[in-house]
Structure 1
């Protein structure tokens, strides 16, 4: 691929086959190169392409103005989340997370650390992203010799969560709604969940996107009415819990569950309640 403009050792501007401007990023892809030369793309690299000129300018600014070490940390963080946890992250996170890490490190150098009021919720509800955030803190310590408190891992996790959603959502609102639904299930069945269970993990993943739809007011047409009737009658306790959730959402969020949403909740509730211990 032809290099139109070198941004740094790890990124350059080019054009795709349609003539659209793209940014190519990868460790050392532009090392020792000059404008007009060809880049031999091997190993791990990523091509960023967007028709949004404002986003393009943010990409260019980050790749040109922020030291390569920050970009490399961001690239490794996203690689870990996508490969180790099978998550898909929007390209804009390469910008937002790099900017965040750069700002956080500059503050820490001045002795400023910011507590994260959502630390406990993020650690519990977004476990994969939080664990990735902790790995990021180790990367930062290894590169810059700086040690953050764990609150920063939660801030990094917030960027990773937002990068998986269709639209930007207030993590505070989403976490609150997720916890409200989880608490309703706990109180209904009088049990605590095994948060290390694969069933709980899958439920929280479902709940994350479900909460986003409710907060955004997104409505989908139901297509599973017949199947819903079968499982509503089969898992009556889980269905009764879903009815309570539906009433709560109608009252506090002006949102009514369709039969598809009720069906998914019934199945998830049935699985997590069968893999948890009832409190004595």
Structure 2
């Protein structure tokens, strides 16, 4: 492999056998070398393949001053999330998670352990992402001997949420509050307590997550006809009105518009989640 750019003593930019641009990492791989020199496969410990040009350029700049063990750990966590947990992640996760893990470790070493005000909501509405956060801090402990607090697992979880929704972090931070408020609206409007351990509750939470994801990706369900909507309105008027209220709340919070079809399906899930509570 021919070196295109030396990033630091341990990281170089090169191409793989299919002529795809990659970032190759290995101890001393760039030391004493120049652009145009060759590097053997046996010297490479880890490879980052980032398809998006802009992300690749930002990643090169960021990793120049980050210790190699932290980069390898981050890549291992992302690979685990994709290959084991089957998450579909934006490539921006390489930027955001590397930066956060590096900062979290430095912060911990300086004796700073910030509280996470969203911990309850993150655990409740994003258990898979929170489990990935816990996996990350266990890996940090196993490899570096540093025991970061569980609050960091919550912060890391939000990066995985962000990478799935392809939102800005400020929008991601509002999602747990959004989920909590939606549940509160259902309980208040229909005067029920929701069973968080029921399958209907789990499906309702999942439906809301996908609804918001479709909203951010501008992939709302289309309004094909009003027959289904009219039927729901007539048969389940309370649930339909509750769905309208939630739709208006989401629109207000996200500054986006929800289709009538989305609102109708929302009413169906509200009916299902409240059936066992009546």
TM-score w.r.t. structure 2 length?
0.78
CA separation of 1:250 and 1:145: change in aligned 2, threshold 3 A: closer
1:115, CA displacement in angstroms?
0.8
Give the structure 2 partner of residue 264 of structure 1. Answer: 265
Describe how 1:73-112 pairs up with structure 2 within 5 A: 73-112=73-112
In the alignment, is the contact (CA less than 8 A) between 2:81 and 2:132 conserved in 1? yes
Describe how 1:145-224 pairs up with structure 2 within 5 A: 145-170=145-170, 171-211=172-212, 220=220, 222-224=222-224
Mapped partners of 2:88, 2:156: distance in 1? 16
CA separation of 1:180 and 1:129: change in aligned 2, threshold 3 A: same
Q: Deviations over 1:193-248 (max 9, x none)?
A: 3434454344334423534676x695857244256337625555432321332454
In the alignment, is the contact (CA less than 8 A) between 2:220 and 2:262 conserved in 1? no
Describe how 1:2-21 pairs up with structure 2 within 5 A: 3-5=3-5, 12-15=12-15
Name the SS for the 2:117 alignment partner: coil
Give the structure 2 partner of residue 120 of structure 1. Answer: 120
In the alignment, is the contact (CA less than 8 A) between 1:6 and 1:13 conserved in 2? yes
Mapped partners of 2:29, 2:255: distance in 1? 57
Mapped partners of 2:127, 2:274: distance in 1? 20
Mapped partners of 1:228, 1:38: distance in 2? 63
In the alignment, is the contact (CA less than 8 A) between 1:130 and 1:157 conserved in 2? yes
In the alignment, is the contact (CA less than 8 A) between 1:14 and 1:23 conserved in 2? yes
In the alignment, is the contact (CA less than 8 A) between 1:13 and 1:23 conserved in 2? yes
Mapped partners of 1:156, 1:10: distance in 2? 26
Q: Say which is worse superposed, 250-259 or 153-162, in terms of deviation.
A: 250-259
1:164, CA displacement in angstroms?
0.9
1:141, CA displacement in angstroms?
1.0
Q: Between Structure 1 and Structure 2, how many residues are aligned? A: 270
Name the SS for the 1:14 alignment partner: strand
Give the structure 2 partner of residue 48 of structure 1. Answer: 50
CA separation of 1:189 and 1:80: change in aligned 2, threshold 3 A: farther
In the alignment, is the contact (CA less than 8 A) between 2:23 and 2:48 conserved in 1? yes
RMSD of aligned Cα (Å)? 3.7
Q: Deviations over 1:63-87 (max 9, x none)?
A: 4321122122222322333234321
Name the SS for the 2:165 alignment partner: coil
Mapped partners of 1:143, 1:114: distance in 2? 22
CA separation of 1:44 and 1:203: change in aligned 2, threshold 3 A: farther
CA separation of 1:277 and 1:63: change in aligned 2, threshold 3 A: same
In the alignment, is the contact (CA less than 8 A) between 1:225 and 1:259 conserved in 2? no
CA separation of 1:107 and 1:128: change in aligned 2, threshold 3 A: same
User: Which residues of structure 2 form unaligned runs of 5+?
Assistant: 31-36
User: Which residues of structure 1 form unaligned runs of 5+?
Assistant: none
In the alignment, is the contact (CA less than 8 A) between 1:165 and 1:212 conserved in 2? yes
Q: Deviations over 1:45-65 (max 9, x none)?
A: 65212232xx33321134432
1:142, CA displacement in angstroms?
1.0
In the alignment, is the contact (CA less than 8 A) between 1:3 and 1:39 conserved in 2? no
Give the structure 1 partner of residue 39 of structure 2. Answer: 37
Name the SS for the 1:163 alignment partner: helix
